[in-house]
């Protein structure tokens, strides 16, 4: 299910990237044409070209605060050549150093990761902007599979895949976080250069603080509780999961379920088709355009299961009912109610963590099983009552 969700996300994000690229090219071309016309007009009649204040006000439909935000954000922006040069320099440094730390991964593998990372970083930033949820770990698992399969088990594909996962996750995850910081800078009239500098300083401090925290925690845990062992109190279950993915990846495409590639290609094509249909409907101003599904929203249940979709459906139904009863109140207080629900769920992590530290077990446990799972449970744990269970099921 997860590869199908990744295919839908990639289809949606790549379509949006293509649409933005086309719009940027059209805007650049239009600006060059207007600049050329202004220069030609100034040369013909000796009068300064360009638009006057009235034309600027007519063409600029945004409010004053939005114009002010645009002005501050664009004037204090990071130069393109500086961003490209910095990324290339750091990528070259990492390409030279990572294979020395992990000899199983080759230089060209790291270089390919850094070449593909900006494209996936845009996809992840777009996803994070829509859902406030970063998929950097999903793209990291994709890197594990690709690099691990290319290196192979005999050449250390497990370690190579995990190293590539670390490279991809750092680049893609930090890009999404930086876009959130830039959005904050835009809304608060803060210089984006200041936000970028703060992010860089925090990353540099993290390179020193995080290893120190890990070593301190390892020292406090002692030899009785080794970190990462399966039988330890601190067994790091996600590390075991990632290692399992890396072990499977070295066997190549043969480890994937049957028809998984076909299903992924179908989901990718469906996402592109829905985006194209929605864009055409909006351009033609068709009323059906509002009913075209969003591929990104369709991909969410593939990652988190149907429970999240049910929660979203219940919330949407409650909001629709509220709007029918009190439209003005819903428009004013819906964000406040949503913020309260989010904060309440976030604060629950504190008592949940305390209960987990005290090893408090819940008094009851409720599960909903399918018929097959129920039969398996009865066969393994209550073998003498299987016949009676079947009789009750048929009744």
Residues lower than pLDDT 50 in the chain: 39, 42-55, 58-60, 386, 388-395
Q: Is 59 helix (H, G, I), strand (E, B) or coil?
A: helix
Q: Where are the domains of the chain?
A: 76-255, 306-360, 362-395
pLDDT of residue 391: 45
Could you report the per-residue pLDDT of 128-156, keeping only the tens digit for each?
888 777 888 888 888 998 898 888 888 88
* R_g over Cα of the chain: 27
DSSP state of 362: P
Closest CA relative to residue 110, chosen from 44, 67, 166, 46: 166
The pLDDT of residue 61: 52
Give me the pLDDT at residue 92, please: 94
pLDDT of 52 reads: 47
Token pair of 338, please? 């949503």
Asked if residues 272 and 7 have their Cβ atoms less than 8 Å apart, the reply is no
* pLDDT for res 14: 86
Question: Whole-angstrom Cα distance, residue 211 to residue 97?
Answer: 18
> Residue 179: how many CA atoms within 13 Å on its side-chain side?
19
pLDDT tens-digit series, residues 334-387:
989 988 988 888 888 888 878 877 778 878 777 777 777 777 777 776 655 545
- Which tokens go with 170? 């750092």
pLDDT at residue 95 in the model: 93
Given a contact cutoff of 8 angstroms between Cβ atoms, the answer to whether 41 and 47 are in contact is yes
Which residues, 6+ apart, have CB-to-CB distance to 303 below 8 Å?
A: 2, 5, 135, 138
Give yes or no for a contact between 151 and 236, defined as CB atoms under 8 angstroms apart: no
**pTM, rounded to two decimals:** 0.71
* Look-up of token digits 């009863």: 325
* The pLDDT value given to residue 99: 92
């Amino acid at each position: 299910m997860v590869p199908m969700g990744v295919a839908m996300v990639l289809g949606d994000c790549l379509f949006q990237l293509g649409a933005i690229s086309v719009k940027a090219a059209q805007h650049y071309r239009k600006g060059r044409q207007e600049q050329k016309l202004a220069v030609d007009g100034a040369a013909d009649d000796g009068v300064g070209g360009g638009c006057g204040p009235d034309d600027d006000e007519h063409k600029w439909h945004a409010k004053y605060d939005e114009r002010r935000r645009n002005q501050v954000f664009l004037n204090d922006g990071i130069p393109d050549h500086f961003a490209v040069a910095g990324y290339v320099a750091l990528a070259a440094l990492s390409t030279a150093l990572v294979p020395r730390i992990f000899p199983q991964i080759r230089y060209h593998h790291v270089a390919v990761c850094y070449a593909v990372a900006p494209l996936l970083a845009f996809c992840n930033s777009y996803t994070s902007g829509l859902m406030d949820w970063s998929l950097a770990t999903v793209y990291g698992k994709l890197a594990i599979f690709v690099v691990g399969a290319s290196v192979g088990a005999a050449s250390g594909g497990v370690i190579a895949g995990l190293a590539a996962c670390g490279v991809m996750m750092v680049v893609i995850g930090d890009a999404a976080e930086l876009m959130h910081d830039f959005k904050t800078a835009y809304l608060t009239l803060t210089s984006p250069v200041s936000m970028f500098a703060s992010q860089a300083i925090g990353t540099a401090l993290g390179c020193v603080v995080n290893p120190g925290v890990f070593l301190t925690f390892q020292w406090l845990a002692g030899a009785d509780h080794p970190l990462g062992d399966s039988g330890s109190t601190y067994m790091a279950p996600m590390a075991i999961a990632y290692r399992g993915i890396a072990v499977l990846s070295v066997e190549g495409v043969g480890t994937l379920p049957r028809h998984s590639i076909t299903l992924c290609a179908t989901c990718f094509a469906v996402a592109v088709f829905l985006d194209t249909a929605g864009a055409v409907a909006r351009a033609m101003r068709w009323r059906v355009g509002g009913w075209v599904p969003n591929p990104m929203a369709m991909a969410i249940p593939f990652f988190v299961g149907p429970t999240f979709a049910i929660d979203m459906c219940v919330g949407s139904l409650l909001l629709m009912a509220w709007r029918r009863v009190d439209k003005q109140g819903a428009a004013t207080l819906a964000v406040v109610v949503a913020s309260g629900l989010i904060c309440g769920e976030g604060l629950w992590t504190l008592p949940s963590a305390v209960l987990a530290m005290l090893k408090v077990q819940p008094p009851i446990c409720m599960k909903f099983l399918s018929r097959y799972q129920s039969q398996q449970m009865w066969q393994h744990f209550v073998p003498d009552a299987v016949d009676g269970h079947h009789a009750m099921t048929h009744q």
